[in-house]
Each structure stands twice: as C-alpha cells, then as structure tokens.
Chains A and B, each alone.
Chain A
Amino acid sequence: MEIKELLSTAFVAIRTNKTRSVLTTLGIIIGVGSVILLVAIGSGLQSFVTKEFEALGSNVLFISPGRVSFSGGPPQNVEAKFDFEDVRKIGELGAPIVKSSGMISKGVTIKYRSESFYGNLAGVEEDYQEFGNVEIDKGRFFTKNAVERGQFVGVIGHKVYTELFGEGREAVGKEVDISGRQIKVIGVLKEKGGGIGGSSNENTFAIIPVTTASKLTGINKPAAVMVRTATAEDTTIATRKVKEYFYRKDLTDDDFTILEPKELLSTINSFLGVVTGALSGIAAISLVVGGIGIANIMLVSVTERTREIGLRKALGATRRDILLQFLIEAVVLSVVGGGIGVAGGWGLSVLMSRFIETAVTPWSVGLAFGISAGVGVVSGLAPAIRAARLDPIAALRYE
C-alpha cells in the first residue's frame, strides 16, 4: 500500500471523529508548545545575558575584595586589603593590561531642595562610561581632569533625576546635596531597561569622580576594580599578572576575587542551559501523557473498526497493511498535534517577547517534531499490532 494512500486513509479516519481527534492531540499540543516556549525563554535569557556581558566588554577583569562565592550567602561587605595606590600600580603592570580603575560605592541620600532620594553613590573614573555601558541623556560625563582634581561634579541616574527634579525639568547645572556637600549635576543618564534583579542598576546612581567620593565618604579602599586588557584573549594573562601582584603584597586568595566576564558568562550560560533543559524535560512529561492519550484512543478506534479491519483483510490487506494503517494514523495525529504545538509555542513566545527576550531555535522545533512523531510511533504500535493480529473471520462477525 502506498504511503499516499495510507496518509489519505489516516486523514479520513481522523476527520470522521473530529472532536475526539482534537481532544486526543491536546496532550501533544500542550507538551510540544510548552517545550518550544520554555526553550525559547531559556535561549532568550542566554542571549540577553550574553549581550549584557558583551556590553561590559570582553576585555575586562573585575577585582572584588574578599572571597566572592557563587554558592551561597549574600556578598559580604569586606574592606579591601588593597587601596587606590594598588589600583594605580596594577594599571602600570604592563602589557596586556591597558588600564585599571577603582570604584567606590555607598548607599546615600541625595537631596535637591525639599526632595530627597535614597540611592547609590558611585565613585568611578572617567572611563566608567565605557566600562559600565552607561549612556548619557543630557549633558555629559565628567573628564579625567575632574577625577584628577576631585571636582564636585557628577551625573545622575534616570530615577534619581525624575524623583528629585521631575520629568522634563532641567537638572544639568543644578546642585544636589550628598552627605552635606553640593555636587554639580553635569549629566543625566538614559533610563536603563530592567535587567535581571534590576534594582541595583544605574537608574538609582549618582556617579561622581572616585577622588571626590573618597573625600565625601572617607572611604579610601576600592569596592571594586576594573582592569582593561588589549584584547579579550589577554584576560587570562592579565589575571595571572594581577594575582602575582597581590601575592607579592602577601595577600591570599581569600583577600580578593578576580572575575573574568567571559568565564562567568560561560558558567551562567551552562547553568541556564541546564535549567532550560530541566524545565523542558518536565514539560516533555506532558508529551508522555499525550502519547498515552493517543494509545488509548487508537485502542478504542481499533475496537470500533474491527469489522472494517476484517473487511480490509478479506479484500486482501496483509498484516503489514493493517499495521501501517493504524501506525500512520497515530503518527499523523501526533505530528499534527506537534505542528499545532510548535505554532502555539512560537506564537506565545513572540507574544512574550514584548516583556522578556525569547528566541525560538530551529533545533527545538526540529526536536519537537521528531519527538511527537516518535510518540506517535510508540503509542500507535500496540494498537496497530493488535489490529494487524485480528482474525479476519472473528473481525467480520464482530457486532
């Protein structure tokens, strides 16, 4: 029997019981749809994280005081065992290190006239604009000159601006009060989209020269150090150089942590991959349930169509013909369900992309189709074998 004929027989049988067929494929639709959606969200998350890290620059190292552990507990506020002098010296360690800059961070109340806002004070160097991937909306960022002289100037985050001044008001040129000192606002940052745990992003920052921040807060140890290298490939060598520098100063691994964004990125991505895989696995359980549904309905169908099977055998159908007929019917049910599931999952992920980044990957679509065809074969096999084995005489007599 030709495949075309088998397919047309399958479609006729499925059309004959429309409602039943739709309900049966629902399990597959939901299973495939949720696998597609979850994989799309996972891939979207990975691409979002990758983009964020790429924005930081792949030729950057981050040094934090103390031991930063990913495995548990909130980050401790450790006072660094190195100071700004060390930051300067690290910057002068030579190739491949190009520059190093320290950063101070502290929670502060920022005031303008009667308005006040509790945000973060970030003391940085002039190259932070590049490092930190911040964009200026109005005004400008401060210069190297301002850092060297410790000028009382700064740029404020979008939220600080709207809270203190109000949308549309002029802020550049005005002075805000931080810890009792007047800081001249020379720039306002563009609003940053809510990232993951978006609370600590630059929207709530007042960014001033690190030298000024040191004077203002009395902090003379950096909260973080950023080291820039010539190329992305150099970060490993730079890490070794920085470590050697600290060891020479009798610091141990407990006193500092060096983060290489590209390594961190691969760790995060592999973690996200595992999470996506696990979630999709759970979603795939509904595929199993869907498969059981198909097997069940195919068994019912075989029983209902016993006489038809007897007739087909009397007309010359072999066991193989009958087996294929029911197997193809199960596969068609399952693959049609898979197709609808893919379309549904795709549609939902497009809808969700308004809120979070999603990416439907070709392999997940291929896999979903493959799995649904597989589910069809597995669940159709037992009913099809049963049909093929029916005794034609008994089948023809079946009432």
Chain B
Amino acid sequence: MKSLLRMTAAAGALLAAPSFAFADCGIESGSVRILSNDFEALHVVASGAEECASATVEVTKNQTTEHKNIQVAALTTNPATYTVAVVANNSVVPLLNDGLIRPLDDLVEKYGQSLEPTQLIRIDGKVMAIAFMANAQHLHYRKDLLEEAGLEPPTSYEDILAGAAILREKGILATPLAANFKPGFDLAEEFVNMYLGYGGEFFEPGTPNASIVNEKGVAALETMKAMSGFMGPDFMTFDTNAIKPMWEASEVAILNGWGSRASALIDTEGPAPEVAANTVLAAAPTVGGGTTPAATLWWDGFAIAKNISDEDAEASFQAMMHGIRPEVAQEYAPVAVWLIKGYEPTPAAVGVIETLKAGAKPFPMLPYMGVLFTAIGENLAEFMQGQESAEQALEDATQAYNTAAREAGFLN
C-alpha cells in the first residue's frame, strides 16, 4: 500500500514537473545544449536553465574548466554541438574572431525585457552576448594584523609594500604578501593589472603592434618584483588554490585576489573562522600615483551559436533567460556579483563593486589580446627570479607575441 502510494506520488510529480516548467519558461520546443566553465555561479545559472526541460524541450549541459579549449571546435560544426556558450571577456574573442556566434538583437527584443542595458555586450552595434556577472581581482587584508602593526588600510601598492615591511620588521608575519605569480594565466593577469594601473597601453592605437616595452611596463614589473620579496620562497608557484590555505593559515596579511573566490575567504563557517572574521575586502589598490585601480574588470555571460536552427536558438535564449531571471540574483546573491536587475550586493561583493566604482578598465576584448596575454605569461618568470632585466623580459614577450601574431595572421 505504502509503495503504491509512493509510486503514485512519483508518477504525479513526473507528470506535473515538466508541465510546470513548460509554463514557466514558455518554450514550445527545441534543444538547449550548454557549454560552460565549472564554478558555483555557473552551476546556478545552468541548473536554472535546466528547469525548462520538458517533453518537447531538451536541456543538457557540459560544465568543464576545459570549455575554452573545446568551444571553437564544438561551435564550428554544423549543427553546432552546443547551442549556448557561456563565456567571459577573453573567451568570447575566439568565437567572435571565427564568427561562430549570432547577433541576439531580435531575441533580446522578444524575450529580454528583464535585462539591464549594461548587460548587453554590443559589438559594432549588434548584441553578441548577454553578461550576467562581474569579476575582478581586488584587495583582501587582515584587519587584526594591520591594527597590530599600527597600519591604516592600504589603498595603493606603495602602501602595501611599506606595510609589508613594517609587518615583517615587527615580527608579525615573515611573508605578509601573496599574489598569483604562477607563470601562464596568473602571472600575465597580474602584469596586465599592474600595467593598466600605471596607465599603460598594450598596443599602438588602432594597430596590432604590441607596445609594452616602455617605462610603465618596467615600473609594473619592478613593483611585482618588490612584492615578491615579501612572499614565501615558492611564490612562482602561487595561484588562487595555493594561496587560499596560506591565507587560512594566517601566513599572509595582504592579498589581491579574485572576487569570485572572496566568499570562501570571508566565510566564518569555513575552516578558519577567526581569519575569515578579520578579512576585509576593498577596491583593488592603485599604483604609481594613478587614480584608477590596478585591476581589470571581467564579465561572464552567454552567447548563442550561429550554426543552429532558429528554433533551437530561441529555445536556448529563453532557457538562459530563465537561468538568469531576477529571482536567481536574489536567491543566490552571495554566489557572485550579479549584473542582473534587482541584485543587492552582499559582503562578498564589496571588493568587486568598489573596484568597478573606482573606474577600473575592462580586460581588453581585442582579437589579438589573447596572443599577447599568452606571450606575457610565458616570458616574465625569468625576470621575477632575477635572471634577466625587466626590459629583456618585456622584449622577450614582445618577440614571442610578434612570432605568434604573425602565425595567427595579425601581423605581417
């Protein structure tokens, strides 16, 4: 009797669920196939889109950190393997370069009433992607340790270096600083932040010619080198995952870390509640007397594949709109810095919002920025370890960029 009851209930639920979801998203039919990176905020969005699955609407997802490496191949096939690509400022570029995503203007007009104008990523006037969250590297500092050393909260890298010296002198911490200096993406991003903080330009205006060998580039590198003097000896292997336990073990007092990971560091129910309670988030610091923070702003959003039927594109857009509806930003507010209407910033979002307000620049979406970024990430390590001069490192990076850009067809 009991099992019969359970079966009936289950059958009822099965029947009821899809029709409810159907009514909810308003999709008639189609296939929604999502490819995205793998972190919590994107899980929330993709699960939201999955609610739209029904007898006539198929929703599948592939959430993997390898998404960047498969997206071009997956969207080149016709029909494309995925209908939705969840992208960021850097990962949307290869899709744009190869013309693999479609303009969304008519879909925005039809289904995008809840979107804020700032969410629309317009390329040459056409909406090519919808942003739903923002991210940036920003300052984290330990209130208690700075007070113990008699320091004011730092607002510039000069403050940070002076503070680090005092923290070390007073014997409070031997290695007061940490930064993502692992060669590759992390090191390149730190340089990009610092170089923009000094007001540097990556390219000669209107051309793909790199222009990083200059005083600002050298100053950026020298500041990074000075910081490494206050870090643990393994600093060339530091990335976000390596720094988190160091922060929790109270080995580090000042850190410029990713906003998307901030909620874990201020989580008073996490592994180090006392450290978390004393962790303060603030705007990314300025450098060299500049007024804008030495940071780049990032957005995460979605784009719709070009090589799919209009029906699937429409279904995909509607499902994603369901995934980023205003209620999501309210219900999951602590998970990300949402760009969605009605979002109320939580304590974990303070750093990113302050950095945004202080006028930090977005990470450049230029077609050849990725090539330069890779060249930078691979060629700064020798300078950081004192094996070559800053000029030589920047020249090596430029040379690597020129070679790769020539092969990619950007330079002749």
- A and B associate: no
> Residues on A close to B: CB < 8 A?
none
Report B's interface with A, CB cutoff 8 A: none
